[in-house]
Structure 1
Amino acid sequence: MAITRESLEQIWNQWEIELVVLLSFTLQIFLFFTGCIRRYSTNALLRLLTWLAYVAADMVAVYALGLISRDGQSTMSSAGSCHRNKRSNRFSTGTSRQLAFFWAPFLLVHLGGQDTISAFSIEDNNLWLRHLLNLTIQVSLALYAFWKSIGGQNQRLLAPGILVFVTGIIRYGERIWALKCSSRNGLRETNLPPLPKLNFEVDKGSYVGTICYVLGSMVCIRDLFSGRTTSQMKERAVFRFQEDRPLDQVPKLLEVELAMMYDDLFTKAMLLRTRTGVVLRCISQFSVIAAFVLFLVENLKQEHNRADVAITYALFLGGFSLEVCAFVLTVMSPWTWAFFKARRCDRLAHISWLLLSSGIGWPEKRPLWSNSMGQYNFLTSCMGREQSTTSSKLMTIIRKILIAVEKKVFIRNLQHTKHVNLSKDVMDSVVTWVGRLAREEFTRITQQQRWVNLRPIINPTMNTLANSLGDNIIFLHTYTELHLQKHSSNMDDETISTTMDICRK
């Protein structure tokens, strides 16, 4: 039989809800794993796909809720006439879409997102109030779709449906809580749980010593990310660079600090360290397990559509698999290891450390980030020059799409940013200068003792450097570019390229 437009529309109408629900779950799987690896990668395509999936996940879940709500009335009216309304191409033995309403609470779970990516960028954290409003709307819509379809034989799914609703509301609430705690104001207002007291001596030069040092300095790191300056943090015993630490351990120390701060800003790790967060997570897990058991019992008593049952099993079992993976990530957190160690749970602490130091965790020999620097050319962006190495035609298409959805800044950053590998010399310079500046700040060395060789450049710009960090970055970036352009006229091309690469690092 020839495939016509009408036949395709009929097939789509028959399978629309199923396909959209599966697409929503597929996006959650994709986000879980890309959320794990994006901290190690600078691949532009991966970042673009992750952003598209992050944005599309909410839209697809909301769209699926609308479809289920619209389909609810027809499902209820057809519940008692399954033998008269069989569809041959759905290989069903029962009512078509009889379980569609049962997927509504699963979509709330999807809207709650994954533990590995609660926010795509720092700015997303500031939108937690918008998500709170969406929570009330989407929960109301899901309850409406569920209530409208409950009747007749569907009443047997009332208990498991309520349990999944509990899980969905908790998971959506967790996401909003994580966004609020990671917002600019949230970093200032949220207090970290008290650091467990580790009653054992550690070698400062060991990896264990590095982890312990970072755990003790996270309050200070959070203060820096919340916008506090070092002068505002003096009373809080900020840094301890005065301690004698092997210089070769400092780069790893900075890596671990940034890795833990990444977890606090872009994942749900922060709330899972609180007692309330752990209790809510346990309630949600027990609820979904109980719902799965009740569904198994109910399905044995009454045969449902095979395709719908398969999709429901996929939602349950796939969700369990993601939760197991998320649990492993939580166990191999430095905070979890410190928690077990402080309470003398040596076996659990040993398991946590094995996972933490293994290849799937934070091994000492592997960088905990991409080991590269992003370089955004502010001048070429302002002048509209092409900077991307991507195919110009492909970039033009992507640019038009993103501009259409009002993402000009995102495409501009993607187009005018390139990444260069971080050399050992650059990292050593960072370590040296960070340590020197920290010691100078907290031993109050006078201004005349600082920047001796750079005084002719720094003195005229002190008023400018007194501004915010963002203003300083733009100023110094522009100054560097103009300086390179001015003094490159007497150099050959190779020397110019080498000099610029060194200066820009």
Structure 2
Amino acid sequence: MSNSIKKLYDEWSIQGFVLFSLSLQIILILFTPFRKRTGNVMVISLIWVAYLLADWAAIFALGLISRRQKYTQKFDDHADILVFWAPFLLLHLGGPDTVTAFALEDNALWLRHLVGLLSQVVTSTIIFGQSLPSNKLWVHTLLLFVAGTIKYGERTYALFQANLNTFRKSMLQAPEPGLNYAELMEEFERRKFYNIPQAGRRVPKSNFIPLDVDSTAVQVRLAYHFFKMFKGLIVDHIFNIHERRDSRDFFGRRSAEVVLNVVAVELNFLYTVLYTKAVVIRSIFGYFARFISSCAVVAALSTFYSIDKHGFGKIDVEITYTLLFGAIALDTIALFMMAFSDWTVALASTLQLSRNKRWRVINIYFLHLKKINWGEDIESMSCLGRARRILFRRWHESLDTYNFIDYSLQERSKKNLTPLNYFFGRILIYVSEKLGLKDFYDRMKYVSKKPLTKKLWVFIFDELKKYSDFARNPENARRIRSTRGYRVLQNISGIIGIESSKFEDYIAHVDCDESLMLWHIATDLCYHTHTINESDEDTSNRREFCKILSDYMLYLLVMQPTMMSGVAGIGQRTFRDTLADAKRFFNEKVDLGQEQDQEHKQACTRILEVNTVVKPAKVKGNRSKSVLFDACILAKELGKLEGQKRWKIMSEVWVELLSYAASHCKANAHVAQLSKGGELITFVWLLMAHLGIGDHFQYFGFERAEISSE
């Protein structure tokens, strides 16, 4: 049996791996665009596996061909066709246009890919050289060799261009010595001597041309304009005052919907630059190289079709046609994706495509397919609606949420389990923790998605616009960036008649991660124990906003710690200690066997029933970082407020916490998340930069006075 399996492997291993390599390329070009449209862990994991296997399969198949040639002294038609397959594997190593890097860190490995390019080209050259002069397919092989080398070179150069060091250098502009100071001072002295009035410093006007932003095509072109202006954010580039002014003028005067569309397209441009071949193929050299490689594949197909195939195995011929048509199909799909991409729309005026009425109508149709769904219920969608949502959206358009009390209730020890079930349950948890899979399991089981509704985005946008109006000078802009809730309390305490000092201890005097945990639990307690007047739409909306943002921010803190590294502190320690405290309390106070909603409500009620006259720190000391009953005290203080005041404070505190986390998250963490569906916090980060909030701008001498007089 083993001999027959070995014989089967020796005879068909090359054919199998070559076809396997082609299959992986088809999977990658069709499915890698989905990773920017979904946050589903399983989908992204499957794409990751295909990405890793693609290079391995191609290199392994190339090694099998080299090995077969080494141990086969006789060169026949079968050997010639195996040599012909070698450059196909170079094509596959070049990968599809839709993915060059799976993660941002892959771009730093461009030098390794360059070495791989050289080694695989040398290997293919040796294989090809050893088959001469008797190789009947040397012309076809040479054509494919040219195409494969170009494709592999495209990928390597794309990785080099997307490497952050290279990206940072590309942002450097030509040296600007400024005005001739010596000549200006001579002119100043001359005017002063002859009592001639000094010439005023002319402030350059904005060169930004307002456009009809209701058009989706115009929004894409505007997004491209701001992408070119602000792409340096990912390498901490400092922008000048004129760029700040142009950006604030546009984003501060547009509707929330238009702004979200522009920011979504802008982030899509960032994604394509960092993770695809967009920069390489969208250049004069790129178009020329792609034309040469595609023509070489078509020429190889034509010449192979025309030759006498007598002597070639039937299966080998069929596999060769499959590889040739597969290569052409991959190029065709890539061309189609490129023609109807945001890049082509943005460059339409330059390419003179916007004058073509038929192209314009088709492109407007495709842009319409990419429109934001605004929380439309998936269950009520038609099949076409669901397909549009999955195939054409630019990001996953939802928020991942994670609730502390739900998690605590589900993870506590189940007293009603049989000893055997309890034992195996503990074993499963222990093994998953040791293998590092507990977080993956928790994410699959406890994280849920909430759609981004238009009302929620409008609310966030309106709050950020208020920050922008306050941040007219650099000092205020930096102050906005550093606040995380207490500015809300200071601003509204006099208006609605509350003592802000009662709440500042839970914001100003604790770390950000601890503050986030406190307000998350307090929000949940208030949400489930305080009813509101349903006729008050604003209060009802703010209550829902609080719940969604609270669960979303906890998800970021626990499940996306890299995105919260700037604010997390000892967030994991705080979470674990609070979780242990909550599970112990719920085991004693909350009944088992209830429906989840009832169990959750009972848990909130039981927490609020605890006597909290003495602060927990005075009783428990400083060993534990649990904030469970501190949050209970905060919830009780908030519960004393009238409903409208309560939810107004809490909703604005949550936006401030969100903006603080967004501005303190590292830029590379934001762009790294673009390959996993994107996050709302990244949209907030980019929008804050466009509204002039933060320290991304540099102010010089006279320009400081200009910004103060806006």
Band of TM-score, shorter chain = 0.7 to 0.9
Aligned to 2:169: 189
The reply to whether residue 11 of structure 1 matches residue 2 of structure 2 is no
Distance 2:604 2:216 in 1: 38
Aligned to 1:472: 566
SS of residue matched to 2:239: helix
**Per chain length, whose mean CA-contact separation is higher, i.e. which structure has more relative contact order (CA < 8 Å, sep 6+)?**
2
C-alpha deviation, 1:370, in angstroms: 1.0
What code does the residue aligned with 2:62 have? L
**Structure showing greater Rg:** 2
Answer yes or no: is the 8 Å Cα contact 2:217–2:367 preserved in 1.
no
SS of residue matched to 1:126: helix
Aligned to 2:32: 35
Answer yes or no: is the 8 Å Cα contact 1:126–1:183 preserved in 2.
yes
Aligned to 1:208: 217
The reply to whether residue 123 of structure 1 matches residue 120 of structure 2 is no
Aligned to 2:239: 233
Equivalent position to 2:114, from 132, 140, 144: 132
Aligned to 2:487: 452
Distance 1:106 1:252, change over 3 A: same
Distance 1:184 1:200 in 2: 31
Give the length in aligned residue pairs: 456
Q: Give the stretch that moved more between structures: 491-500 or 12-21.
A: 491-500
What code does the residue aligned with 2:132 have? I
What code does the residue aligned with 2:167 have? L
C-alpha deviation, 1:323, in angstroms: 0.9
SS of residue matched to 1:242: helix
What aligned pairs does 1:391-406 form with structure 2 within 5 A after superposition? none
SS of residue matched to 1:77: coil
Distance 1:362 1:310, change over 3 A: same
C-alpha deviation, 1:471, in angstroms: 3.2
What code does the residue aligned with 1:188 have? R
Q: Which runs of 5+ in 2 are unaligned?
A: 173-207, 374-388, 405-410, 413-424, 491-503, 514-561, 591-598, 606-630, 636-650, 659-679, 681-710
Answer yes or no: is the 8 Å Cα contact 1:24–1:60 preserved in 2.
yes
Aligned to 1:431: 461
Distance 1:43 1:329 in 2: 23
What code does the residue aligned with 2:153 have? G
Aligned to 1:334: 342
Distance 2:115 2:352 in 1: 43
Distance 2:326 2:370 in 1: 26
SS of residue matched to 2:335: helix
Q: Which runs of 5+ in 1 are unaligned?
A: 80-94, 193-198, 379-384, 387-391
C-alpha deviation, 1:302, in angstroms: 4.4
C-alpha deviation, 1:340, in angstroms: 3.0
Answer yes or no: is the 8 Å Cα contact 1:160–1:295 preserved in 2.
yes
C-alpha deviation, 1:263, in angstroms: 1.4
Distance 2:46 2:86 in 1: 26
SS of residue matched to 1:453: helix
Distance 1:10 1:271 in 2: 44
C-alpha deviation, 1:484, in angstroms: 7.8
Distance 1:161 1:336, change over 3 A: same
TM-score by length of 1: 0.77
Distance 1:359 1:260, change over 3 A: same
Distance 1:318 1:448 in 2: 57
Equivalent position to 2:261, from 252, 255, 258: 252
Answer yes or no: is the 8 Å Cα contact 1:118–1:179 preserved in 2.
yes
Distance 1:356 1:59, change over 3 A: farther
SS of residue matched to 1:420: strand
Distance 1:352 1:23 in 2: 39
C-alpha deviation, 1:63, in angstroms: 0.7
What code does the residue aligned with 1:279 have? F
Please provide the CA RMSD for this pair.
Answer: 4.3
What aligned pairs does 1:320-359 form with structure 2 within 5 A after superposition? 320-348=328-356, 350-351=358-359, 354-355=362-363, 357-358=365-366
Q: Give the stretch that moved more between structures: 96-105 or 325-334.
A: 96-105
Aligned to 2:542: none
Answer yes or no: is the 8 Å Cα contact 2:217–2:345 preserved in 1.
no
C-alpha deviation, 1:49, in angstroms: 1.2
What code does the residue aligned with 2:334 have? A
Aligned to 1:166: 146
TM-score by length of 2: 0.56
SS of residue matched to 1:114: coil
- For 1:254-293, what per-residue CA distance to the aligned partner results, in whole angstroms no more than 9, with x for missing partners? 2222222221121111222222222211121122222222
Distance 1:458 1:240, change over 3 A: farther
Distance 1:200 1:474, change over 3 A: closer
Aligned to 2:294: 285
What aligned pairs does 1:245-324 form with structure 2 within 5 A after superposition? 245-298=254-307, 300=308, 302-324=310-332
Distance 1:376 1:146 in 2: 57
What aligned pairs does 1:45-194 form with structure 2 within 5 A after superposition? 45-74=42-71, 77-79=74-76, 95-152=77-134, 154=135, 156-190=136-170
Q: Give the stretch that moved more between structures: 354-363 or 332-341.
A: 354-363
Q: Percent identity?
A: 26
SS of residue matched to 2:98: coil
Distance 1:25 1:377, change over 3 A: farther
Distance 1:255 1:487 in 2: 39
